[in-house]
Amino acid sequence: MKPQKPDNSADLFRSQLSQMLNMSHPLVRLSDKMNWEKLEAQIDVIYSTGAGQPPLPTRLLVGLHYLKYAFNESDESVVARWVENPYWQYFCGYEYLQYELPLHPTSLTRWRDRVGDRLESLLSNIIELALNTKAMSVRELDHVNVDTTVQEKAVAFPTDARLYHRMREVLVKAAEARGVKLRQSYRKVGKKALIMQGRYATARQLKRARKKTSKLKTYLGRVTRDIERKVTDKDNALVELLAQSNRYWPSRKTARTNSTVFMSPRLNASLRAKCIRSMSLATKRHL
């Protein structure tokens, strides 16, 4: 069912918002100049014409999203402030003062998921309105500032034990995809060694933790050499994986690996050393 308009049925005992508000307020002027019919036509195509519960008014949902981003509000706060602010109610198409919440805040999330990319029509209509009212020139659109949200990437700290374990898993999957039968995959013993290494390190039993790390390193070396012996015609992807494994697993017993030397161009992180005071900017390699 298509959305309905806001309920603005005539009431003789109530005054309209247009008679109480300042009609020169920016939100009132913006509301009168926006092409709401065009916005509703672009968004209402997601609804079917069959029977069902009538959805919420499109102008209400679009208006709440505009107010949310314009005043930097959350879904909960924009709905709560909507009841307290008559200008917001007039902007959303209501002619009489409302005393109850128009919807539950979770309805905004579900509506965004349903609308998808069609919500960008709100931005295009705002830009078109700004150009028509000469509030913005075409020249100002040559340079656009995009505000993005920065968040941490779900990458575990690159310890040597975990790198050995993940590299071995990647090599085993690559060998199975190419039909190579390995002598041993070390799935169970490798997983157990990684778990025990973490437990020993947490308990500060460093000697035992180093032994488990050495086992993981041995498992990686055995799988690497087994693939190099059995695969004669190696493709580029396998050659790159083997070269990467040889960097994780040095051929000399006295060589030491450092998890911060494996560079990843898309991931920047600040790695801690043993002391909190000594911080170094580096990049982590993840598999």
User: Mean pLDDT across the stretch 242-264?
Assistant: 60
Q: What is the pLDDT of residue 14?
A: 82
Q: What is the pLDDT of residue 151?
A: 60
Q: pLDDT (tens digit, 9 = 90+) per residue, 22-51?
A: 999 999 998 888 888 888 888 887 777 777
Residues 6+ apart with CB under 8 A from 200: 206, 208, 209, 212
Q: What is the pLDDT of residue 213?
A: 92
The identity of residue 257, as a single letter, is T
Q: pLDDT (tens digit, 9 = 90+) per residue, 141-169?
A: 787 777 666 666 666 667 888 889 999 99
| Whole-Å CA distances, 72 to 28, 64, 69, 129 | 19, 11, 5, 21
Measured between alpha carbons, how far is 229 from 206 in angstroms, rounded to an integer? 35
Q: Is residue 183 exposed (0-12), middle (13-18) or buried (19+ Cβ within 10 Å)?
A: exposed
Average pLDDT of every residue of the chain: 80
Using pLDDT thresholds of 50, 70 and 90, give the confidence band for residue 199.
Answer: very high
What b/e sequence results for 35-56 when a residue is b if at least 16 CB atoms lie within 10 Å of its CB, and e otherwise? ebeebbebbeeeeeeeeeeebb
Measured between alpha carbons, how far is 99 from 91 in angstroms, rounded to an integer? 16
Tell me: pLDDT of 209 over 50.
yes
Instruction: For the chain, state the CA radius of gyration.
Output: 31
Q: What is the pLDDT of residue 121?
A: 83
User: Mean pLDDT across the stretch 270-284?
Assistant: 38
Record the pTM. Answer: 0.51
Q: pLDDT (tens digit, 9 = 90+) per residue, 44-87?
A: 877 777 777 778 888 898 899 999 988 999 999 999 999 999 99
Long-range contact set of residues 271-277: C-beta below 8 Å, sequence gap at least 24: none
> Do residues 201 and 209 lie in contact, with contact meaning Cβ atoms separated by under 8 Å?
yes
